[in-house]
Structure 1
Amino acid sequence: MNSRRCLVIEHLSVEHAGTFKPALEGCGYVVSSMPAAMISERQDEVASADMVVVMGGPIGVYDAPAYPFLNVEISLLKERLASRKAILGICLGSQLLARAAGSKVYPGKSGIEIGWGPVFLTDAGRQTPLSVFGSETMVLHWHGDTFDLPTGAELLASTPKYLNQAFAIGTHALGLQFHVETTAEELEQWFVAFSGEIKAVQIPTLSELRRDTQLYSAELARKNMIFVERWIGQLTSSGG
């Protein structure tokens, strides 16, 4: 029997699939990755994949005039939404998914949200695989943009700073503004790549980010494995 294929779209090499990869492989997926900047030449791979995971990055959806490949991504995500093919969007990926579903994406008025902290699940969110990330779970926040909830989408999680932290469109598309896939090793690369942002926000400091990463990343990795297994189970039971 042929394995299902998951394509990970990366906007920056340091923002990769992380713990999604072993979790998806454990569920029977063959996982490969693609630089987002190459998407125009590889559209067929995006269209044919059983699942697409769209990762984060330091640019915004509204930067498409400078980075035209974003428009190609949005167009391909629209097609996947129309055909009810599985999509998981993380951070920028969730914003691209929201835009593909017809919503606006823009810089948040509450400023940059960086650091480890909980998300608060809605009643609907507590009935989904996201329930593993209850209010006692520390996830990683690293964004300054936000978006309007797409028409027909279900809000699953919020934080005091930003309302729209997770949403679902049917059972086949899920957007998470926060990160659940990161590891301590990966974040050391982030601390270099995004040193300017860390200095700009001042709180948390680099030392605080390192401390919290050591405290929370292993538990987050464990729970992310459970989340992925449950989400794949949901996709399978719904025919995705």
Structure 2
Amino acid sequence: MSTVFSDTIYAIQHLAFEDLGSFEDVCYQLGYRVRYFEAGVDDLRKALEHEGLTIILGGPIGVYEIENYPFLQQEIDLLKVRLGKNLPTLGICLGAQLIAHALGARVYAGPVKEIGWSTLTIHHTDNNFLALLADQPVLHWHGDTFDLPEQATLLASSEYYPNQGFSVGPKILALQFHLEVLSNSLEKWLIGHTSELAQAKINIPALRQENTTHAPHLEIVASEIFSQWLQALNPNC
């Protein structure tokens, strides 16, 4: 490992079953350790001041719900400092929304609940690691969206949400969709999000079948994308 890039990757969870998924094995294969922090329980200062890679995972709360979830304010404040230092950061779903907000963009409720599997429009930009997702359905599970930060490069869009993925330079990556989902873990999501699924009138058996159809191949593609991005961050690993 490089002596400059830390050999530990920190992951901030907002919900126990939304973890690193397929990314975790990639971390171990490349020689990294993984340490989780629980938002709302743990002090996030160490994770967000970490000079190596920190990954901010998803969750069902909104960036704008600070009154109900006061810990979000510290998370946002620390994230603003982190991004200002251009430290390596990956945000997924809520994590992407937090990055967008910390960069000055507006985060707000979207036009529809986007829950299910569908393909993305991948934009032609230099070094777009998401190019491997062409024609590959991914899992969407969100109702909020964000404006594209001024300094960001748009990487991917979907039918209802134009800002599905963006980067800021080579070290900051934000993904609204769930690239990391494991095929054998979705049942935990179906149980844990049962109220949201019922309210959105989502057909759970159909969603389960889509997972069976698409998730195994997504795991392969996602691992390749994350591995390429991680090795680009640290060529000496």
Structure 1 match to 2:72: 70
Aligned counterpart in structure 1 of residue 108 of structure 2, from 106, 109, 117: 106
Counterpart residue identity of residue 9, structure 1: I
Is residue 171 of structure 2 the alignment partner of residue 177 of structure 1?
no
Is residue 33 of structure 2 the alignment partner of residue 35 of structure 1?
no
SS across alignment from 1:77? helix
- Matches of 1:55 and 1:48, distance apart in 2: 16
Structure 1 187/42 Cα, relative in aligned 2: closer, same or farther at 3 Å? same
- Matches of 1:65 and 1:202, distance apart in 2: 28
2:117–2:138 contact (8 Å) kept in structure 1: yes
SS across alignment from 1:94? helix
Is residue 162 of structure 2 the alignment partner of residue 163 of structure 1?
yes
Counterpart residue identity of residue 150, structure 1: P
TM-score, normalised via structure 1 length: 0.92
Query: Per-residue deviation at 1:201?
Result: 2.4
Alignment of 1:36-185 (within 5 A): 36-39=39-42, 41-108=43-110, 110-124=111-125, 127-134=127-134, 136-185=135-184
Structure 1 match to 2:21: 18
Is residue 200 of structure 2 the alignment partner of residue 201 of structure 1?
yes
- Please list every run of at least 4 consecutive aligned residues from structure 1 whose deviation after the TM superposition is greater than 4 angstroms: none
Comparing 44-53 with 158-167, which one deviates more in the overlay?
44-53
1:17–1:55 contact (8 Å) kept in structure 2: yes
Which digits, 9 at most, give the CA deviation of each residue in 1:161-218, with x for residues without a partner?
0000000011110000000111123210110111122222224x10101101111111
Consecutive unaligned residues in structure 1, runs of 5 or more: none
Which digits, 9 at most, give the CA deviation of each residue in 1:32-53, with x for residues without a partner?
10101134x3412431251111
Aligned counterpart in structure 1 of residue 214 of structure 2, from 209, 213, 216: 216
Q: CA RMSD in A?
A: 1.8
Consecutive unaligned residues in structure 2, runs of 5 or more: none
2:47–2:54 contact (8 Å) kept in structure 1: no
TM-score, normalised via structure 2 length: 0.93
- Matches of 2:12 and 2:221, distance apart in 1: 23
- Matches of 2:119 and 2:224, distance apart in 1: 17
- Matches of 1:24 and 1:144, distance apart in 2: 29
SS across alignment from 1:89? strand
Which digits, 9 at most, give the CA deviation of each residue in 1:95-152, with x for residues without a partner?
00001111110001x2100001111111127x41111111x10100000000010111
Query: Per-residue deviation at 1:79?
Result: 1.6
SS across alignment from 2:151? coil
Structure 1 49/186 Cα, relative in aligned 2: closer, same or farther at 3 Å? farther
Question: How many equivalent pairs are there?
Answer: 234
